[in-house]
């Protein structure tokens, strides 16, 4: 249908309707129609003076040949750009959704009354636990609240200073994640770095009943705190930025797990983040590899892990800086204890989302976000060489590639993305095939139907990391016990009242709390969290 320009001039209703359609809807107009409408608008701009928005359209008038019109015509641009008075309610609340029903003044009144019952109306960090409960917060928020109210400077917090701090926090932050970030973060920061967690975790070490045995072993404090911090960032910091935001806190289970510490006396039952047994396993694995005990692991040291099960090429990628992070990144080609925590969890639980990202970064040699067939062949070559050295005939790469593509089912032929690996739920088999020979051979010998059953199992099964940590802990306890019995000279004469190792302390809190000198030396030599 052809529309003549004169029809636009003579029909004010059509002109108004077209101007309304052009307001934010250009994408539906054909290019030829838009060109004619634009030409018409430019003509009106040149020939007519501006009029205020909202001026009623004049009666239809014919235009003489003179360049200056006899009757005014409304400015089309004013119609197009007239603001719409639409009231859109706020839908984004970065500090949490405000609760209009909350009675903050009543809570503050209860807090003030509680301070009245404290000597000198000043609370120390232990009495701050009662205040935290009155605020509706978990018990182990008490250390961050104590510091935020200025208690670190004087050792005590007065009622006015705490109430002023808490009133401001309630006015500006409306959910637990936002409040938690505000309490722990540095001034003017809206995210948490690793050192921000130290006061909170030191309070857990000092006061949790499941860690009372550590009071006699202060050399373990910094090591345990380092491990917990790395596990928190491994799970919560999904952006890999090194800074935890309130959004990441909301999406994680960290605050819920932190609240569980108040209810569970056996800290080993809380396998997420805080388990002492898990810390002990990680720490002992690191110490076994650090042969020269220089507080770092070299590339040669890491290659010895699990009897050299990992290929040299993947270890080179780890030390290339693909996944190492923090202040000690690439410090003379050595891995710190903090980086080792990430490696060990990723190695033993390749189903974990962070682990899948960890190994994808290692295998993506050119950093283009895609695993090409060249990169897969590059890592599989070493696997073939190692199998041939063991007298095992390797599967040709072409045949293996067909298996892996059937396993992953990438969205784009010949290109495997991170999304593909997360979606297929078989990333652990894929990764082991290319750089972990021992686990690759185990997968080859397993019943394929059993593998499929594992994938389809949606129950709350323990993770691969939980299973590994439990098995390794039992092994370490058995080794410690056997060594202690051997040193006593007789297995029959061994008594539980004798000095026990930290591994036994973790399970036997009601028995002797003595740390062996050898492991105390290990912890003492490692530098503090702050220095890392």
Q: Which tens digits make up the pLDDT trace of 434-483?
A: 999 999 999 888 765 555 555 555 556 889 999 999 999 999 999 888 88
Quote the CA–CA distance of 156 and 14 in Å, as a whole number.
75
The band of 69, judged by pLDDT with boundaries at 50, 70 and 90, is: very low
- pLDDT of 461: 80
Q: Mark whether 193 and 263 lie in a shared domain.
A: yes
- pLDDT of 83: 56
CATH of the domain at 113: 1.10.238.230
CB atoms within 10 A of CB 255: 19
pLDDT tens sequence across 299-354: 999 999 999 999 999 999 999 888 986 555 555 688 999 999 999 999 999 999 99
- Domain closes at, from 172, 199, 231: 172
* Residue 263 domain-assigned (yes or no): yes
353: which 2 tokens? 């989302």
Q: Is residue 264 within 8 Å of 211, Cβ to Cβ?
A: no
- pLDDT of 500: 39
- pLDDT of 107: 84
Percent of the chain residues past pLDDT 70, beyond the cut: 71
CA distance readout (Å), 491 to 479, 482, 484, 485: 13, 8, 9, 5
pLDDT at 212 over 50: yes
Query: Among 109-123, 224-238, 478-492, which stretch is predicted with the lowest mean pLDDT?
Result: 478-492
Q: Which residue has the higher pLDDT, 277 or 120?
A: 277
The three-state DSSP-derived secondary structure of 92-133 is: CCCCCCCCCCCCHHHHHHHHHHHHHCCHHHEECCCCHHHHHH
Q: Can you say how many angstroms the Cα of residue 122 is from the centroid of all Cα atoms in its chain?
A: 37
Residue 72: which region, alpha, beta or left (left: phi > 0; alpha: psi -120 to 50)?
beta
Query: Among 25-34, 123-132, 294-303, which stretch is predicted with the lowest mean pLDDT?
Result: 25-34
Quote the CA–CA distance of 113 and 162 in Å, as a whole number.
13
- Domain closes at, from 255, 276, 297: 276
Q: Mark whether 209 and 253 lie in a shared domain.
A: yes
End-to-end CA distance of the chain: 74
- pLDDT of 20: 60
Q: Is residue 208 within 8 Å of 261, Cβ to Cβ?
A: yes
**326 DSSP 8-state letter:** S
Q: Mark whether 220 and 144 lie in a shared domain.
A: no
* Residue 352 domain-assigned (yes or no): no
Percent of the chain residues past pLDDT 90, beyond the cut: 52
* Residue 149 domain-assigned (yes or no): yes
- pLDDT of 219: 83
* Residue 332 domain-assigned (yes or no): no
Q: Can you say how many angstroms the Cα of residue 518 is from the centroid of all Cα atoms in its chain?
A: 35
Average pLDDT, the chain: 80
- pLDDT of 101: 57
pLDDT at 143 over 60: yes
Query: b/e for 137-171, b at 16 or more Cβ within 10 A?
Result: bbbbbbbbbbbbbebeeeebbbbebbbebbeebbe
pLDDT at 120 over 50: yes
Q: Mark whether 164 and 191 lie in a shared domain.
A: no
* Residue 200 domain-assigned (yes or no): yes
Quote the CA–CA distance of 148 and 182 in Å, as a whole number.
9
> Taking the alpha carbons of 128, 130, 132, 137 in that order, is the dihedral positive or negative?
positive
- pLDDT of 486: 78
pLDDT tens sequence across 239-267: 999 999 999 999 999 999 999 999 999 99
Q: What pairs with residue 416 in β-bridges? A: 371
244 by DSSP, 3-state: which? strand
Q: Mark whether 207 and 267 lie in a shared domain.
A: yes
Q: Mark whether 222 and 269 lie in a shared domain.
A: yes
pLDDT tens sequence across 78-90: 445 555 567 777 7
Quote the CA–CA distance of 176 and 257 in Å, as a whole number.
13
* Residue 162 domain-assigned (yes or no): yes
Q: 110 is in which domain, residue-wise?
A: 104-172
CATH of the domain at 223: 1.10.238.220
Quote the CA–CA distance of 43 and 287 in Å, as a whole number.
82
Q: Which residue has the higher pLDDT, 504 or 104?
A: 104
Q: Mark whether 191 and 168 lie in a shared domain.
A: no
Q: Is residue 502 within 8 Å of 217, Cβ to Cβ?
A: yes
Q: Across residues 139-143, what is the average pLDDT?
A: 94
**242 DSSP 8-state letter:** S
CB neighbour list of residue 39: distance below 8 Å, 6 or more residues apart: 5
Q: Mark whether 222 and 265 lie in a shared domain.
A: yes
* Residue 22 domain-assigned (yes or no): no
* Residue 286 domain-assigned (yes or no): no
- Domain closes at, from 276, 305, 325: 276
313: which 2 tokens? 């090429």
pLDDT tens sequence across 37-52: 677 677 767 665 554 4
Q: Mark whether 204 and 261 lie in a shared domain.
A: yes
Q: Which of 351, 364, 288 is nearest to 320 (CA)?
A: 364
Query: Among 104-108, 127-131, 420-424, 456-460, which stretch is predicted with the lowest mean pLDDT?
Result: 456-460
The band of 393, judged by pLDDT with boundaries at 50, 70 and 90, is: very high
Q: Across residues 113-137, what is the average pLDDT?
A: 89
- Residue 422 burial (C-beta neighbours within 10 Å; 0-12, 13-18, 19+): middle
* Strand boundaries in 106-159, DSSP class E: 122-123, 157-158
Total domains, the chain: 2
- pLDDT of 294: 78
pLDDT tens sequence across 175-189: 899 999 999 999 889
Q: Which residue has the higher pLDDT, 449 or 506?
A: 449
Query: Among 56-60, 364-368, 414-418, 515-519, which stretch is predicted with the lowest mean pLDDT?
Result: 515-519
Q: Mark whether 272 and 192 lie in a shared domain.
A: yes
């Amino acid at each position: 249908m052809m529309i003549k320009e004169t029809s636009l001039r003579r029909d004010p209703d059509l002109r108004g309707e077209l101007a309304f359609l052009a307001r934010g809807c250009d994408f539906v107009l054909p290019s030829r129609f838009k060109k004619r409408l634009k030409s018409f608008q430019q003509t009106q701009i040149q020939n007519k003076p501006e009029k205020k928005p909202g001026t009623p359209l004049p009666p239809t008038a014919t235009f003489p040949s003179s360049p200056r019109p006899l009757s005014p015509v409304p400015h089309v641009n004013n119609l197009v750009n007239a603001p719409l008075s639409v009231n859109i309610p706020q839908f984004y609340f970065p500090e949490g959704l405000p609760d209009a029903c909350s009675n903050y003044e009543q809570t503050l009144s209860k807090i003030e009354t509680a301070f009245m019952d404290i000597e000198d109306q000043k609370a120390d960090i232990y009495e701050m636990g009662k205040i935290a409960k009155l605020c509706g917060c978990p018990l182990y928020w008490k250390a961050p609240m104590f510091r935020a109210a200025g208690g670190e400077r004087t050792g005590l917090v007065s009622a006015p200073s705490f109430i002023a701090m808490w009133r401001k926090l309630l006015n500006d932050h409306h959910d637990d994640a936002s409040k938690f970030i505000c309490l722990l973060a540095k001034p003017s920061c809206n995210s948490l770095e690793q050192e921000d967690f130290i006061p909170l975790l030191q309070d857990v070490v000092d006061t949790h009943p499941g860690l009372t045995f550590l009071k006699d072993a202060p050399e373990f404090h910094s090591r345990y705190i380092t491990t917990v911090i790395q596990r928190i960032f491994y799970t919560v910091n999904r952006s890999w930025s090194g800074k935890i935001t309130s959004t990441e806190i909301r999406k994680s289970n960290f605050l819920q797990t932190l609240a569980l510490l108040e209810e569970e006396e056996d800290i080993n039952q809380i396998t997420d983040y805080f388990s002492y047994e898990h810390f002990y396993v990680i720490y002992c694995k690191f110490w076994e590899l650090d042969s020269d005990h220089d507080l770092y692991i070299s590339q040669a040291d890491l290659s010895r892990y699990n009897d050299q099960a990992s290929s040299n090429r993947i270890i080179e990628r780890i030390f290339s800086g693909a996944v190492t992070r923090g202040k000690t990144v690439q410090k003379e080609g050595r891995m710190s204890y903090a980086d080792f925590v990430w490696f060990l969890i990723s190695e033993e639980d390749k189903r974990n989302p962070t682990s899948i990202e960890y190994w994808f970064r290692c295998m993506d040699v050119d950093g283009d976000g895609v695993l090409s067939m060249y990169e897969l062949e590059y890592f599989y070559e070493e696997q073939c060489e190692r199998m041939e050295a063991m007298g095992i005939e390797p599967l040709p790469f072409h045949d293996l590639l067909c298996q892996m593509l059937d396993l992953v089912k990438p969205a784009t032929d010949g290109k495997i993305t991170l999304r593909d690996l997360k979606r297929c739920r078989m990333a652990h088999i894929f990764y082991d095939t290319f750089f972990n020979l021992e686990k690759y051979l185990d997968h080859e010998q397993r019943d394929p139907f059993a593998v499929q059953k594992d994938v389809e199992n949606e129950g709350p099964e323990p993770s691969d990391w939980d299973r590994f940590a439990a098995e390794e802990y039992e092994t370490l306890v058995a080794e410690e016990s056997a060594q202690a019995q051997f040193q006593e000279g007789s297995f029959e004469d061994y008594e539980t009242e004798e000095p026990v190792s930290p591994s036994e302390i973790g399970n036997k809190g009601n028995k002797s709390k003595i740390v062996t000198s050898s492991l105390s030396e290990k912890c003492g030599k490692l530098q503090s969290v702050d220095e890392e």
